[in-house]
Amino acid sequence: MTAHLSCVRCPQTYPLMELRYRCDCSGTLDVVHDPSQFQLSTATLDARRASRSPMDRSGVWRFRELILPLPESDLNDCVVTRGEGNTHLYEAGALGADLGVPNLWLKHEGENPTGSFKDRGMTAGISVAKHLGMTRVACASTGNTSASMASYAARAGMEAVVFIPEGKIAYGKLSQALAYGARTLQIQGDFDDAMALVQDVCALEGIYLLNSVNPFRIEGQKAIGFEILQDLGWEVPDWIVLPGGNLGNNTAIAKGLLELHARGLIDRLPRMAVVQAAGANPLYTAWTEGADVVPVTADTLATAIKIGAPVSWRKSLRGLRALDGVVTQVTDDQIMDAKAQVDAAGIGAEPASCATVAGLKRLVSEGVIEAGAKVVGVLTGHVLKDPDVVVNYHTGDLTGIHALRANRPTVVAADLDAIREALRS
């Protein structure tokens, strides 16, 4: 075996395929790879991208040696893929200029099969579940993880159980969990309650846990960073900016970039900026105070990142330090304003994704990110995940939000002249 599990808090290690999510000391676990075990070049990765093989074409499994170093025959038996990844890296054009960073690209992870970046971690997690012979999988979710897990479990013929906070997830996401056939438990509590409960239920019921506390989810999500580099012809940007909720994604991207760098596939590292909603900001507080994360009660319109007790905070801080990172926070008003800009640019993304752009705006105005910097912002979820918030913004129905870019629908009589008159006004 060319990799093992290692505790982030103490020196304890475990075999790669041992069925556990935490160390005996309760610390979370990392997959530690052995770089001496294989050679991988950017030319090989580029050739795979052009290949017809489903494994090579997947924006996760193309990087398989860096994701799940099992023998190729084992991978062929266990990998469950929907061709995830291969998302657009949009040149932001006028939007970048508007934000004060003309060299801006937006990596749209909402273009994954179930509409969010979660599919990258989920293909890895479900494939490991299959390798381990698990038949039931579960997660707690603000919506996207559950949508993704429900879909991949269905493809793998597994039973899916999702724990979602009752009444607090966007409709697009709830509908996906139901549509893909997951047993859906609406927990009468918030995401943090659901997260605590699912860990206990999985342990008691022998269900495989697929939250990002599962180290293989993190391994799959590393591919966002790999693909950004590949999209840019392996030229390293100055900054990668992304939202932070449970903090798995920034942990993953940082870990992957450090591994690419250690193998000489890139010659330097980008800096990383993590953006939190001001109403769900435990990482921001810990970062600015130089302290450990202390859970908070979360409240934000960006329901995907409405998380007060992030599971991956320790790993997240480690990655941020290694990438000379920063953490910032933005209000819901700023998130919705940035969202209106991203949407009107014809790209569109859900609110949590647009924390990226709101945070970028703030960091540019503070001079942390310089105007000449080459910046990649990650948009994590599709605009249709949360249609209610879009309509409510544009009709001026979001309490506390100054909908300065509202594009109100016009009610008009079913009459040619009335319509022509409406078009002139």
Residues forming the site for ligand F0G (CB under 6 A) = 116, 118, 141-145, 212, 243-249, 304-305, 350, 352-353, 380-381
Query: What is the closest distance, in whole angstroms, from the C-beta atom of residue 71 to ligand F0G in the complex?
Result: 29
| Shortest Å, Cβ 414 to ligand F0G | 39
Q: Which is nearer to ligand F0G, 265 or 379 (CB)?
A: 379
Decide if 5 contacts 29 (C-beta within 8 A).
yes
Q: Which residues have a Cβ under 8 Å from the Cβ of 222 and sit 6 or more positions away?
A: 63, 66, 67, 252, 253, 255, 256, 259
Shortest reach from residue 198's CB to ligand F0G, in Å? 11
What does DSSP say about strands 239-243 and 104-108: parallel, antiparallel, or unpaired?
Answer: unpaired
Q: Where are the alpha helices (DSSP H) in 268-372?
A: 282-289, 313-322, 332-344, 351-365
Closer to ligand F0G by CB, 70 or 164: give it. 164
Q: Give min distance, CB of 58 to ligand F0G, in A.
A: 20
Q: How far is the CB of 239 from ligand F0G (least distance, A)?
A: 17
Q: Which is nearer to ligand F0G, 33 or 385 (CB)?
A: 385
CB of 305 to ligand F0G, least distance (A): 5
Q: How many CB atoms lie within 10 A of CB 103?
A: 17
Instruction: State which residue, 349 or 364, has the beta carbon closest to ligand F0G.
Output: 349
Q: What's the min distance (Å) between Cβ of 216 and ligand F0G?
A: 14
* C-alpha span between 81 and 78 (Å, rounded): 10
**H-helix or E-strand containing 250?**
helix 248-262
Residue 127: HSE in the Cβ half-sphere, 13 Å Cα cutoff: 28
CB of 379: closest distance to ligand F0G in angstroms? 8
Q: What is the DSSP letter of 263?
A: T
Residue 26: phi and psi, rounded to 5, are: 80, 0
How many other CB atoms are there within 10 angstroms of residue 171's CB atom? 14
Contact 338, 358 (CB under 8 A): yes
Report the distance separating Cα 214 and Cα 102, nearest Å.
38
> Residue 200 and residue 10: Cα distance in Å, rounded?
23
CA distance 425 to 422: 5
Task: Please give the structure tokens belonging to residue 344.
Answer: 């009107």
Compute the distance between CA of residue 198 and CA of residue 187 in angstroms, rounded to an integer. Answer: 10
Per the CB < 8 A criterion, the answer to whether 152 and 82 are in contact is: yes
Q: How far is the CB of 108 from ligand F0G (least distance, A)?
A: 11
Supply the minimum distance, in Å, between the C-beta of residue 319 and ligand F0G.
12
Of 2 and 285, the one with the shorter C-beta distance to ligand F0G is 285
Which of 317, 352 has the CB closer to ligand F0G?
352
Q: Would you say 95 and 358 are in contact if contact means Cβ atoms under 8 Å apart?
A: no
If the CB atoms of residues 78 and 208 are measured against ligand F0G, the closer one turns out to be 208
Q: How far is the CB of 181 from ligand F0G (least distance, A)?
A: 18
Cβ nearer to ligand F0G, comparing 123 with 246: 246
Look at the block and give the residue holding tokens 């330090």. Answer: 321
Residue 295's φ and ψ, nearest 5 degrees, are -60, 145
**Strands 3-7 and 29-33, bridge-based pairing:** antiparallel
Question: Of 265 and 383, which CB lies nearer to ligand F0G in the complex structure?
Answer: 383
Closer by beta carbon to ligand F0G, 220 or else 244: 244
93 dihedral zone (left: phi>0; alpha: psi -120 to 50; beta): left
* Cβ-based nearer residue to ligand F0G, 81 or 276: 276
